[in-house]
Structure 1
């Protein structure tokens, strides 16, 4: 069965829901972009002061915080943790790249 074969009311509801999903996806992308703008600034600050790219204690606190937020939002905490771990890994990679490009003595 294709969407052409379904009832017009069902198709309209499906389209309405998909439009909402598309809007949410766009918001998620823009929010991630804003988050990465901030983490880039953190990376530059860390590099300038010879701080390590990773902060395991902060990361653990953030994961725990996000798990609690996920639970209160009725989202699978394991999924939220996997997502945050993916984001953290990307942030650390960015921080390492930034640190590699800071000239010696600039801190």
Structure 2
């Protein structure tokens, strides 16, 4: 199979590239929708925590989640360090939301 020539890339290669990129685009869309669902749940958690004056962060839960995600990543053949960085980023954003919700509740703006 030729990857390129003077006339340009092989049309079959371009078709395969397009097919793969379409799959990537679909997966990216699914990831965004799953993250949106996750954040809907974490917003509910934040409101519950604020209502009961619980701290925005839960380091024990966060550590368990990171360990769980690292194990899932390993079984999926994904770099566990990458998975941890990704979840750590998400957790930081969730905590920021929870802090804002708690501040709003304390100020009576909820």
TM bracket (short chain): over 0.9
Q: CA deviation at 1:5?
A: 2.2
Instruction: Say if 2:56 is the partner of 1:71.
Output: no
RMSD: 1.5
State which of 19, 22, 25 in structure 2 corresponds to 1:22.
25
Once the two structures are superposed, the pairs formed by residues 43-82 of structure 1 within 5 Å of their partners are 43-82=46-85
Q: Between Structure 1 and Structure 2, whose CA radius of gyration is higher?
A: 2
Change (3 A) 1:104 1:18: closer
Q: CA deviation at 1:92?
A: 0.0
Q: Deviations over 1:45-85 (max 9, x none)?
A: 00000000000000000000000000000000000000000
Q: Deviations over 1:25-54 (max 9, x none)?
A: 000000000000000000000000000000
Ranked by relative contact order (alpha carbons within 8 Å, sequence separation 6 or more), the top structure is: 1
Q: Which residue of 1 aligns with 2:103?
A: 100
Separation of aligned partners in 1, 2:101 and 2:30: 27
State which of 89, 93, 107 in structure 2 corresponds to 1:90.
93
- Could you list the runs of 5+ residues in structure 1 that have no partner in the other structure? none
Number of residues of Structure 1 aligned to a counterpart in Structure 2:
103
Q: CA deviation at 1:103?
A: 4.0
